[in-house]
Amino acid sequence: MLAPMTIWSSTFAALILCAATAAAAAPVAKDPPTHVSGVDVPAGPGPKLVSSYPADGSEIPAGTLVLKLTFDQKMTPDGWSYARTDAGEFPHCLAHPRLLGDQHTFVLLCNVAPHRAYAIAINAPRDFRNEIGRSATPTTFRFSTGDTGVWDMHRALEQAGLTEVDDPVMTWHDDGAGVSQYPPPDADAKPNP
């Protein structure tokens, strides 16, 4: 008969061996939760730009442009960052983009001159964020322009693969906070003055 201490030691050693085996077999989290100001932010990668109009490296007609950025995650409407870069000129754009109903796509009304090379740094500084506060991966995309060809909004929306519902100019607002909003559900809502 084994002494109680020997049984306890054997059991303890077996438990340690099982725990070590389980730990070795468990996958290691690539993105552990981040502790920020007393709050644990869920793990996972930040949003990435998955498509744009114009596409990176493309040539488009000059004139009116609806710049379209689509991210792989739902975004918050109150943060964005379009910045200049030495890689090309920056287009003339309105100050604020609009987040569309899919909550993944931002649109911004711009004007581009003919026969120019443009470049836009996205998220430098890091203001594009998903709905839980993770910043989008910074990126830069470039495009060039040919002859002038687009001067009306309808055609600019079509080029970006959008419809009139996706108008980049905010028609409604939320009491001056500058956040893109959808029309209120009530019939008495009033458009921006």
Contacts of 171 (CB under 8 A, 6+ apart): 183, 191, 192
Rounded to whole angstroms, how far apart are CA atoms 161 and 64? 14
Neighbours of 71 (CB within 10 A): 25
CA-based diameter of the chain, in Å? 95
Q: Under a CB-based contact definition with an 8 Å cutoff, are residues 85 and 119 in contact?
A: yes
| pLDDT (tens digit per residue) in 66-110 | 999 999 999 999 889 999 999 999 999 998 899 999 999 999 999
Question: Could you tell me how far CA 67 lies from the centroid of its own chain?
Answer: 14
pLDDT value at position 193?
Answer: 42
Helix residue ranges, H only, the chain:
4-25, 153-159
pLDDT value at position 79?
Answer: 85
Confidence of residue 20 (pLDDT cuts 50, 70, 90): very low
Rounded to whole angstroms, how far apart are CA atoms 120 and 92? 11
| pLDDT (tens digit per residue) in 121-155 | 998 888 899 988 899 999 999 999 999 888 888 89
Average pLDDT, the chain: 77
Confidence of residue 45 (pLDDT cuts 50, 70, 90): confident
Contacts of 141 (CB under 8 A, 6+ apart): 49, 52, 54, 55, 56, 57, 119, 120, 122
Alpha-carbon distance values, 17 to 20, 23, 24, 29 (Å): 5, 10, 11, 22
Q: Give mean pLDDT, residues 35-45.
A: 63
Closest CA to 170 of 97, 119, 101: 97
pLDDT value at position 168?
Answer: 87
Query: Integer distance in angstroms from the first to the last C-alpha of the chain?
Result: 92
Q: What domains can be seen in the chain, in order of their start residue?
A: 49-163 (2.60.40.1220)
pLDDT value at position 118?
Answer: 98
